[in-house]
Structure 1
Amino acid sequence: MNVFIIGLGLIGGSLALDIRREFKQAQLFGIDTNEEHVSQALELGIIDSAASMDDLNKATIVIVSVPVDISIRVCQQVLDMVNDHALVLDVGSTKEAICDALASHPKRRNFLATHPIAGTEFSGPKAALEHLYQGKTNIICEVEKTAFKLQERALEVFAKIGMRIRYMDAKSHDKHIAYVSHLSHISSFMLGKTVIEKEKNERDIFDMAGSGFASTVRLAKSSPAMWAPIFKQNKGNVLETLEEYIQNLQQFRELMLRDDFEEIFREMENTNHIKQILNGILQEA
């Protein structure tokens, strides 16, 4: 099995490590415009060999793990170059744009739109982690448009590395992910920005910051090169979630101005229900 990873960062690199562990006969090839990433991936044993797009005709599986603004063009190029039996999948955080762009491609049946819900705030080959996907959910969109044998091949890989599968249409995926992922990153970036602008003396921030602050702004360490294109592609859904979030912040501010701390208590108490929801999700995993 010849597996090509295009984009040797956290997501692509971690997939490569898990595939290597579970499929001993797999040969892993890496493609990345950043030559340093290719060198690091070779040194870390993430891939067996460097490759180029011209080598894709021998691919069994191609995993496209690049920023979403680039992914559409790359996936089109990959589909043009792979053989008729190759599986091509992307792992981006937005699905509607890429599904629409590839809808009429002659090799649409070779493509599978996926979104593994996993990651950290770090990037690059050195951030790759084995077992990153164990117990995590993988969203698959428009599965019916992928050839059945290639669906089976993908599901075998996902099962072996320990992922749970959810099927969803691309439009619903992008709407839901705006709430549970994209808004979280915006909140983290803007909280970090607010504190940095207010506390010009960085030592004060570090001295006073506890685990709560650190965990809340953790996502602000994420790659802007990856996240700015995500916000652009999912602009409509992100704006909708932002409007609702801002309304809740403004309501909280109004309660503070009115000294209505009893209502603030009730708001927080009602929101505590999220603990039960999250605990249920973890138990299912």
Structure 2
Amino acid sequence: MNVFIIGTGLIGGSFAIDIKAAFNEALIYGIDQNEENLNKALALGVIDNKASLKGLKDATIVIIAIPVDATVTIISEVLDVVSDDCLVFDVGSTKQKLCEVVSNHHKRRNYLAAHPIAGTEFSGPEAAVANLYRGKTNIVCEVEKTAFKLQEKGMEIFSRLGMRIRYMDPVSHDKHIAYVSHLSHISSFMLGKTVIEKEKNERDIFDMAGSGFASTVRLAKSSPAMWAPIFKHNKENVIETLQEYITNLTQFKELMEKDDFDEIYKEMESTNHIKSILKGIN
């Protein structure tokens, strides 16, 4: 099984590690515009060989693990090269625009739109880890547009890697993911910005930062090269979620100004219900 991974960073590299462990016959080929990343991936044993897009004609599986804007640009070229028996899937955090781009491609049946909800705040081949996807949800969109035998090939990979599968249309996916992923990253980036600006005048602030701050701002360490295109592609949904978030923050501020701490207590108590919703999620 010849597995070509376009993008040898955290996400693509972690797929490489797990696929090599799950499929003894798998040979992993890496494609990356960043030659340094490609060399690191090879030196670390994440990939077995370097490759180029021309080599995709020999691929059994192609995994596109690059920023979503780059995926939209390259997806048609990838489909043009692969054989009829090759499965191509991406791992991007937005799906509507990508599915629209490939909708009329003559090899649309070779493509599976996927979004494994997994990752860390780190990037690059050195960030790749084993079992990143075990127990994680993988959202698959427009599965009916992928050839059945290629669906089966993809599901076998996802199953062996320990992922749970959810099916969703691209529009719903992008709307829901804006709330549960994109908004949290924006919040983290802006919290980090606020504290950094304050730190200019109060040098001791980071010495006082506890685990609560560290966990909340963790996502601010994520790659801007990956997240800026996501916000661009999901602009309308992100703006909608931001507006709702800003409204809640403003209401909280107004309660503080009114010294209405009984209502603040009720707001927090009501929100505690999220503990039961998120129970068991890593």
Deviation, structure 1 residue 206: 2.1
For 2:5, what is the secondary structure of its paired residue?
Answer: strand
Q: Is the 8 A contact 1:192 1:217 kept in 2?
A: yes
Alignment pair present for 1:59 and 2:69: no
For 1:217, what is the secondary structure of its paired residue?
Answer: helix
Q: Relative to structure 1, is the Cα distance of residues 186 and 26 closer, same or farther in structure 2, using a 3 angstrom cutoff?
A: same
Q: How many angstroms apart in 2 are the aligned matches of 1:191 and 1:111?
A: 38
Q: How many angstroms apart in 1 are the aligned matches of 2:50 and 2:257?
A: 60
Alignment pair present for 1:152 and 2:152: yes
Match in the other structure for 2:219? 219
Match in the other structure for 2:255? 255
Q: Residue deviations 1:153-208, cap 9 Å, x none?
A: 00000000100000000000000000000000000000010111112157413211
Deviation, structure 1 residue 254: 0.5
Match in the other structure for 1:112? 112
Q: In structure 1, what residue type is equivalent to 2:117?
A: I
For 1:94, what is the secondary structure of its paired residue?
Answer: coil
Q: CA RMSD in A?
A: 1.0
Match in the other structure for 1:101? 101
Q: Is the 8 A contact 2:179 2:241 kept in 1?
A: yes
Q: Is the 8 A contact 2:4 2:59 kept in 1?
A: yes
Structure 1 residue ranges without an equivalent (≥5): none
Q: Is the 8 A contact 2:42 2:49 kept in 1?
A: yes
Q: In structure 2, what residue type is equivalent to 1:250?
A: T
Q: How many angstroms apart in 2 are the aligned matches of 1:55 and 1:214?
A: 43
Match in the other structure for 1:170? 170
Q: In structure 2, what residue type is equivalent to 1:225?
A: A
Structure 2 residue ranges without an equivalent (≥5): none
TM-score, length of structure 1 as denominator length: 0.98
Q: In structure 2, what residue type is equivalent to 1:127?
A: A
Q: Residue deviations 1:214-267, cap 9 Å, x none?
A: 000000000000000000000000000000000000000000010000000000
Q: Is the 8 A contact 2:2 2:60 kept in 1?
A: yes
Q: Is the 8 A contact 1:183 1:241 kept in 2?
A: yes
For 2:94, what is the secondary structure of its paired residue?
Answer: coil
Q: In structure 2, what residue type is equivalent to 1:56?
A: L
Q: How many angstroms apart in 1 are the aligned matches of 2:201 and 2:15?
A: 40
Q: In structure 1, what residue type is equivalent to 2:147?
A: A
For these two proteins, the number of residue pairs brought into alignment is 282
Match in the other structure for 1:38? 38
Alignment pair present for 1:82 and 2:82: yes
Q: Which runs of 4+ in 1 moved over 4 A?
A: none
Q: How many angstroms apart in 2 are the aligned matches of 1:35 and 1:56?
A: 18
Identity of aligned residues (%): 70
Q: How many angstroms apart in 1 are the aligned matches of 2:206 and 2:144?
A: 51
Q: Is the 8 A contact 2:199 2:206 kept in 1?
A: no
Match in the other structure for 2:229? 229
Q: In structure 1, what residue type is equivalent to 2:251?
A: Q
Q: Is the 8 A contact 2:62 2:86 kept in 1?
A: yes
Q: How many angstroms apart in 1 are the aligned matches of 2:201 and 2:81?
A: 54
Q: In structure 2, what residue type is equivalent to 1:96?
A: Q
Match in the other structure for 1:268? 268
Alignment pair present for 1:190 and 2:190: yes
Q: Is the 8 A contact 1:64 1:74 kept in 2?
A: no
Match in the other structure for 1:69? 69
